[in-house]
Chains A and B, each alone.
Chain A
Amino acid sequence: MTTKRLGEEGFRWFIGVVENNSDPMKLGRCQIRVINEHDDPSIQTEDLPWAFPMQNITSAAYLGTGQAPVGLLNGSHVFGFFMDGQEKQLPIIMGPYAKMTDGTNDVPQLAIGNNIIPDELIGPEPASSYAAQYPYNSVLQTQSGHSVEIDDTPSQERMRVYHTSGTYVEINSDGRIVIKSVDNSYEIVAGDKTLYVTGDCNIQVQGDCNITSDGETQITTGSGVVLDAGCGVNIINSGNITTDGNMSSGSGATGSFTSSTGKIITVQNGIVTSIY
């Protein structure tokens, strides 16, 4: 090696263009064509030395911990340096820089005030509160269209995690949160769950709605329960139906239904009138 004292023999930095980001060792290395070094057309991409990427200090880059160094795209312009100085065989990538590529800003559009995520509102879904101004919106934008925004635009502080399918979570400046899934949604809670709503709670289901409990299901209300069934109510009950208060009339249910023991129960305005 020409370099005898690593780090003491000058700093030879470069600007280069990523030509291959598919590191066979999966370490985030890229093959960089260094401008004015690797310009000779006889130098093929596979001839280029693999450049290790420097990582952010917030990434451990150790024992599988930290941020994966996989952000660079083929075509990204990077600054770097040669660890071995004059020999120029061991390039290190310090980082990319955004530029105007073919007249287009390389910075994510969401960061510069262009909301490229279309509003496709369903039901009561409110429109996005996006009102980002440059340079307040910190955006992570991926190739396929996923994005994470942490927006500090004054008076419009907002966060959004968006999946390219249209599924997203958005928190607006008031703290309102919108969670939208464009396909099935599952919420699995292995322990207890408490939902506490200080205002009204509206659940709107366009298809069937099923609530299954292995234990007791209790509905507690301070101002009554209204069961508004357009096509009748079918109670399947293997035990007694009891009430602590009076059965009221007028607004109660009217009809017949069959218990699990085979008895036919007739109800008139909410009052059981006969059991056969």
Chain B
Amino acid sequence: MADSSSYVRSDDVNIVTLQLNSADRSKNYDLSSICVAFDIYEDITFPCIRAEFTIIDALDLLNQFPIIGEELIDVEFGSPGNDLTNSYTFFVKAIENQIITQQGKVKSYIIRATSEEMFDSNKQIVSKKYHDSSDHIIRDIMNNVLYTEKVVACTDPPRGIQDVLITRLRPLQAIDMIRKRTSSQNYSSSSYCFFENKRGFNFCSIEYLMDQLQNNVSDKVFFYDTAGATDARNQNTRTILSLRNISQVNNTKKMAQGGLNNTVKKFDLLTGIVTAFNYINQEQQNKFKFASKKPIGLNTSAFEHKHGQKEAVTFLVPHSSHLPETFISDSMGARQAFIVKLQQNMYHAYVNGDPALTCGDVITINVPPGDGASTGSTSDNRLIAGNYLMSKVRHSILNNSAQQKSYRCSLELIKGSYEDHA
């Protein structure tokens, strides 16, 4: 019988670098032996990647190094047998939850860290006049205010010109303001997000991510494996360890938030004219692109006909036509409905670690129907299976000991539609 330790488990991790550095990098310390776990968080609703490092410190590194919140942590890790690794440099921003044992010999604490751009964003404000498109403004802030060396990908062309005087906003706050004001040339939801993933910074609509990146699923197809449920050694890299529904359907919320019918009124300060834009889901939802190649709506046409005839929410947006048109009033209703849809069909998946997983990408999950078939069903869950956008990815690395190393990923998955596998 083979020694189990010789197996390469699907959740194994290869930590290449885990190093603490002083601010000027004149001193460093290998954290591999005292960092028992670390988590890296990516989120399409948050501009930067964050990390947490759990330290068991019997060397008084906290005082001897010392760790005072000005340090850098270099991290590089991957999966055994996979050349791909993820590499980050994090800036320490906080040290929290410090606990000292009764004997006073050991203390544990958590180092919270973030990417450099988040760190730098908190030390300054932006005061600048812009008369430009949203993507150009965001590039300017990233390149000329935050001086990022990472890729800033603006892949979803915006409509209109932003004539704004940004004042007293932190760079990432300014970007968030521009993001909310942006309307897309190609995607009716204009559901813009700005986030960092392993490829760099991204400014595009969620709809763009779903539409464009569904073609890049490649091997990121996850499935249930009944054999894996009985013996971890049988688990495949793509085995779904757990899948939990966060929200399947909430029709009252969907209706109340304007998912079926809403109106955006634009008040023009210069002319006093109020222009109304009515979003009717039954008529306009077909313009949306979702992660699925063949999406189907969350509701039947009969339901929408019955319950989506009247506006359930109205917005009043100020504008002045002496300023250039941003078109955001035109698309705000669709954006609202689209975001409501994204909140309707959300899942949380727990899978074996893979450095290739990054937020903003699309994956496929094959979910069995759970129909009680004793032999196990080979069909897919009719509505749930299919492509999902990873809106959040948490890389969790356990580094407790040689035997207790593991790398798993928690994924928040959104879809905005169903997908008919009947």
Contacts and interface: CB of A to CB of B under 8 A. Distances in A.
A1 interface: yes
A83 B316 CA distance: 11
Interface in A105-163: none
Given A6-B316, A84-B318, A89 B165 contact: yes
B329 interface: yes
A90 interface: yes
Given A1-B318, A6-B318, A83 B165 contact: no
A49 B181 CA distance: 17
Interface in B327-357: 328-329, 332
B318 A3 contact: yes
B287 interface: no
Contact of A90 (B167, B316, B320): B320
A38 B165 contact: yes
Contacts of B329: 1
Contact of B129 (A2, A27, A47): A47
B233 interface: no
A44 B317 CA distance: 28
A220 B293 CA distance: 107
Contacts of B244: none
Q: For chain B, give the interface size range.
A: 20 to 34
B166 to A, nearest CB: 9
Contacts, number: 72
A5 B315 contact: yes
Interface in B169-212: 177, 180-181
Contacts of B106: none
B165 A2 contact: no
Contacts of A4: 315-317, 332
B319 A1 contact: yes
B232 interface: no
A32 B127 CA distance: 15
Interface string A41-65: 0111001111010000000000000
Contacts of A39: 127
B307 interface: no
A100 to B, nearest CB: 28
A216 interface: no
A84 B167 CA distance: 14
Given A1-B317, A6-B267, A86 B332 contact: no
A12 to B, nearest CB: 11
Nearest to A49: B165
B181 A87 contact: yes
A39 B165 CA distance: 12
A175 interface: no
A6 B320 CA distance: 13
B128 to A, nearest CB: 7
B167 A88 contact: yes
B317 A37 contact: no
A42 B180 contact: no
Contacts of A25: 270, 322
Contact of B180 (A1, A37, A83): A1
B322 A50 contact: yes
B164 interface: yes
B249 to A, nearest CB: 25
B382 interface: no
Given A2-B177, A2-B180, A43-B165, 5 more contacts: A1-B181, A25-B270, A37-B168, A47-B129, A87-B177
Interface of A: 1-7, 25, 27, 34, 36-40, 42-44, 47-50, 52, 83-84, 86-90
Interface of B: 127-129, 163-165, 167-168, 177, 180-181, 267, 269-270, 315-320, 322-323, 326, 328-329, 332
27 contacts: A1-B180, A1-B181, A1-B318, A1-B329, A2-B177, A2-B180, A4-B315, A4-B332, A6-B317, A25-B270, A25-B322, A27-B270, A34-B167, A36-B168, A38-B127, A38-B165, A39-B127, A42-B127, A42-B128, A43-B165, A44-B129, A47-B129, A47-B165, A48-B165, A52-B320, A87-B164, A90-B319
